[in-house]
Each structure stands twice: as structure tokens, then as C-alpha cells.
Amino acid sequence: MPRLLEYQGDLESAPCPVVSERALPWISEQTLRSAHARFCDDILNVGTTLSHYVQYAVSCGLQRASVLVFARREQNRGREEQAGLSERDMTVLRSFDERSYWQFETALPQVLLSVGKPYDLDFPIISVPLSETDASRSVEEWHALLQRVFPNVCNLTTPSQRLAGVASFTLLEPLDISLEDLVRSYSALPGSAQVVKIRLYISQRARVIRVVPICIPIVEEEAIRSNGSLRDPALDDLFTSLVARVRDADPFPLEPRYNCLVYLASFEYGRLFLGQLRRLAEDAGPWRPAISEADVRLLFGHDMAPSLAHKLRERLNGECPKVGIHRRKLGDPPLAEPLDSSLAEYVLTELVAGGYEGAPVTNLVREALKIVDRQVEADDPSNPPRKDYARLRTGLSLCDLWWIARKLCAIPEKPSFAAMSFLLDYYIDLGVIVPVVTKVRSLYCRVYRRGEADPVEYAQLVHQLLIEHEEAHPNSSLDTTFFTKIMAAQAIYHPGLVPLEPVFDLYGAVPYVALPEAVERQTMRALEFLRDKGVIHLVTPDDAKDDQQLPLF
């Protein structure tokens, strides 16, 4: 929801402090007792998440709370009371039927990506102004420039970002340092390969490049409780002073400490990366990296944000050691046992039973997380609110998803670890999957669950083209064979502008499939999806032969 507010205007100019739910453990009881907090969400499905955080804030001292929801799924009207939300304390701006809901859930992440920031709020954002020359570079020019310097780069720019003048890239392990050089307490257990990457969002219109460093350690519970988690003494002192002021969270008490550790380790990696990024700037003008207090406030609240943002800016502007570039192509880590072996093996069994052996990795990831959804719901059928909240904190780690994909994908299509990491970034941007912090055994880690929405961007494009055809040729049928040929031609002649499912070649240079047979498969899936949503009809004419394609109306 903060990105939706940001799309409508600068958070710095908001009439009140804007924070995310991550900030609640950092806000003092005194502040909560004197505050009127309005909890906002983009779409209300059931309301369990909203209810959970309202109740948590009240337990921490909040006296007055209300709820504002941008849109509600009409078929779920009334279910919010099961989750503990009162209709009288809630404002709903819009209600959607199922036909409108899928259009909204697909369009919303695309609109928010035009902000030029990540959908995910968990990591620091370091902004660097660009010269007019650098800002005018095309997506392809930036990609080629990055690839000349860094060996593990992928272009994740979506068609809607391209139209908004935004370019998006992921750089895996760009620096010649490891997570172990930053975090002392991380776990190196089998199946727990650590993730270190940089995401770049380049906005031509704002003339800024936003650096989002991402370090995701897997940390033992006891290690989080102790001091000395970060190797840099000054940064570890900052961590210690911060966590001394935080309260426990629910349901995982040490989650705020883990989030703080991840944030500071990521910030340090980003600070070290800036030295290499500066070499790419064509205009050697003033170098002014900055971190916004509003972004810090989202995660740490308005009590902590001013001081923390000031300390981070001081560190950004201070002397920084030089770090080399990691110049080797990434190899795959050993295919060890999964981190959450019982859940991963259950999902693998269900996928095999569903006939997903040899399926593309994009299909496997989506279906795997649907299976997790169904498994969690089946665990507690008698208590809908609790089961829904449990679902939101249950998922599969990157390593576990990669383990499943390596077991089931056909040999030529088995994804590398890097390709799986790129794919998750892409799906997070689209809102298809959501990263959450959970505890597996005694380990705090980051896993991925199915998003509240499951947008199908390509289906949205197909639907729009069918609407335009109907307006131009009322009551005229359109044969599916002809239509898929039209879609294939668009994908081939307009590369990068048709939102097909992504693939990742050796150089990260092909973010979308454009082969005619792939377009045909995806078009038919999109048509079936639209049929199931009730927005189109697939009919067989009376004189159809067995091998004739279905026309569309």
C-alpha cells in the first residue's frame, strides 16, 4: 500500500507519517497511545492481515484505529467480520466483481512499477541523481553497459516500465565479497545458499538511479539474540543500539531484529557497490548518493527514522573501502536437501501427481505456491481467519523452489540458481509472489508465498485486443488459430513490449519468449483463463470439424 500512496504523491508531503506494518514494533508505546492510526490496504480479500496488525498495535498501546481500503472483492463482503474487523470502523472506496477484480489486480503492480522503486519494502533504497546524458540512455544501452562490467546481469524491465521510462535490472553477486564478510551470524547449512544481489531501477523522467541492495542471510534464532551479528564494528554498534529499543513481534518474536540485521547488511553492501557504479556514469559531475527519511520511516517508524536516516547518510558520505568486482559467471551451489524438507517434498509429490514433470519453470513456481496455499488451508478448515494468516507466513525458500525445479524440469530447461533468482525478482515485481520472513525450525529466513493477487498480465493484453476487435467488428467471430498468429507476430516484431512469460538466457538478455509455438501455448492459456473469469466465450460452431479451432466472441 505505501507504493500506491507514493504513486499518488510524495510521501514526504503526506499530511501524516506513513509507515508500513514492519514499523509497528519500532514505534514507542507513548507514541501509539497518543496516535490515531489509519490502517490502509489496496485490496481487502478477507481482512485477516489487517485485523492481525490492528490487534497487535492495540496490544502495544494504540488507542484509536480505523481502516481504509482502496477496493474490496465483492464476493468476500462480510468475511472481514470473521477476521475481527468491524464494518463501522472501515471505509471501502470501491467494490469489484470478479470480472473487474482480475483486471485491477493485474494492472495495479504494473502501475506501481512506474514509480521506479521495488514493490518489496524490506531493503534500503539509495538514490543517485543522473546527468541528462545518463538518464537518456535506453534500456538496451544500460543493459549493454552493465554487462560490460558485471558478469551476472539480467534485464527485468517490463513493458509497462519501459513505457513509463523506467529500466529494471538485477545484478547477482556483483562485488568480490560474500555475505560472510558482512554478517557473522549467518547459517551455512546445506540447502541454505545465501542470496546477495543489487537491484537497479533507472528512471529517465526523474533522472535518478535507485540502488536496492539485497542481502538475505539465514540466521539461527540464538545468533539474532546476541550482539556481534555484523562484522563491521560501527555497523554492529548501530544494530545493537537499534534492537535495544524494539519490542517482540507476533507470531515470530525476533522478526524485527532479523529485519534490522538484513537491512543494515544490505545497506553496507549497497554502500560498497556505489564505488563501482560511479565508474559507469558518463558525466563525472557531483556524486550525491542519498537515502530518504520517508523510505526509512516505512520500516522503522517516525520515532526512529530521523536519527537512523541521519546516521546512514553520514556513512554514505564517509570514506568507503574499495571492493573489486566479482568477474566470474556464477555456478550453481550443490543441490542439497531442502531447507524445509517436509514442505518441499510434499509440494514435489503433488506436482508429480498433477503431471508437472517436464513443465516450464514459470509454471512450476506458480503451481508450487498454489499447492502450499491449499496445503495450509487444509491444515485448519475450522478456523478461516487463523488459517488465512498462517498462509501469509508459510512459503518456500529460493533454495527449496530451485530444488523442486531441478527435480522436475526437462534436462535442457533445468534452471540455474541465477535464473531462479531472476525469476523470483520478476514475479515479486508483478505481485505474483510475496516474500515473507518466517521461522523454519530454529532458523529465521525469507520464503515466498503466492500473492494475494495472481495477475496474468498477458491475459490482460489479450482481453484488451479482443475488446478492440469487438468494437471494430461487432458480433464477428475470431478464430483462435488466426488470433494466435496475430499475437505471435506482435511478440516477434515488438520484442520487449508483449508481456509473455519470462525466460533467462546465459547473458540475461532475453526476458520474454517470442517463439511462435510458445506464444500459441500462452495465448491458449490466456483464453482459457479469460473464459474461466467469465469475460469471454469460447464456442464451437455447428459445422465445426474435430480439428477445427474454436472461434471467439
Over residues 33-46, the pLDDT tens digits come to 988 899 988 887 77
Mean pLDDT of 171-175: 93
Taking residues 461-489, report their average pLDDT. 82
The predicted pLDDT at position 463 comes to 81
Question: What are the pLDDT digits (tens) for 187-220?
Answer: 555 445 678 999 999 999 999 999 999 999 888 8
Q: Which helix (H) or strand (E) segment is 40 a member of?
A: strand 36-44
| DSSP assignment of 278-338 | HTT-SS------EE-HHHHHHHHHHHHHHHHHHHHHHHHHS------B--SPPPPPP----
Q: How confident is the model at residue 470 (pLDDT cuts 50, 70, 90)?
A: confident
Give the residue-averaged pLDDT of 74-94: 74
- The predicted model gives 501-529 an average pLDDT of 65
Q: Which of 203, 208, 212, 201 is nearest to 271 (CA)?
A: 212
- Enter the C-alpha cell of residue 265: 547488511
Distance CA 125, CA 355 (A): 42
Per-residue pLDDT at 493: 75
Residue 507 confidence (pLDDT) above 50: no
State the average pLDDT over residues 466-493.
82
Residue 472: what pLDDT?
86
Supply the DSSP symbol for 9. S
User: Average pLDDT in the 468-474 region?
Assistant: 84
469 pLDDT tier (thresholds 50, 70, 90): confident
**Phi-psi sector, 135: left (phi>0), alpha (psi -120 to 50), beta:** alpha
Q: Taking the mean position of all CA atoms in its chain, how far away is CA 552?
A: 34
Position 52 scores a pLDDT of: 87
DSSP string, 368-388: HHHHHHHHHHHH-TT-HHHHH
pLDDT at 326: 86
User: Is the CB of residue 201 less than 8 Å from the CB of residue 167?
Assistant: yes
pLDDT-derived band at 371, boundaries 50, 70, 90: very high
What proportion of the chain, given as a percentage, has pLDDT over 90?
Answer: 30
pLDDT value of residue 223: 84
Share of the chain above pLDDT 70, in %: 85
* pLDDT on residue 203: 94
- Mention the CATH class of domain 1-95: alpha beta
Return the pLDDT at 241.
93
49's enclosing H/E stretch is helix 48-59
Cα 508 to Cα 505: distance, rounded to the nearest angstrom: 5
Domain with CATH 3.40.50.2020 in the chain: 1-95
Average pLDDT over residues 370-386: 67
pLDDT of residue 138: 92
Element (H, E) at 472: helix 457-472
Least reliable range by pLDDT among 260-264, 409-413, 422-426: 409-413
φ, ψ of residue 108 in degrees (nearest 5)? -60, -50
CA–CA dist 491, 433 (Å, integer): 25
Full-model pTM? 0.86
Residue 503: the pLDDT is: 59
User: pLDDT by residue (tens digit) across 272-329?
Assistant: 999 888 877 665 556 789 999 999 999 999 899 999 999 999 999 888 888 999 877 7
Say what the pLDDT of residue 383 is. 47
Q: Is the pLDDT of residue 553 over 50?
A: no
What number is the average pLDDT over the span 329-335? 74
Q: What are phi and psi of 196, to 5 degrees?
A: -135, 120
Evaluate if residue 270 carries a pLDDT over 90: yes
**Looking at residue 328, what is its pLDDT?**
76
pLDDT at 510: 42
Q: How far apart are CA 42 and CA 71, in angstroms?
A: 6
Inform me whether the pLDDT recorded for 489 exceeds 90.
Answer: no
The answer to which of 353-367, 439-453, 458-472, 527-541 has the lowest mean pLDDT is: 527-541
Q: Is the pLDDT of residue 115 over 50?
A: yes
Q: How confident is the model at residue 186 (pLDDT cuts 50, 70, 90)?
A: low
Q: Provide the mean pLDDT of the chain.
A: 82
Q: What is the pLDDT of residue 412?
A: 66
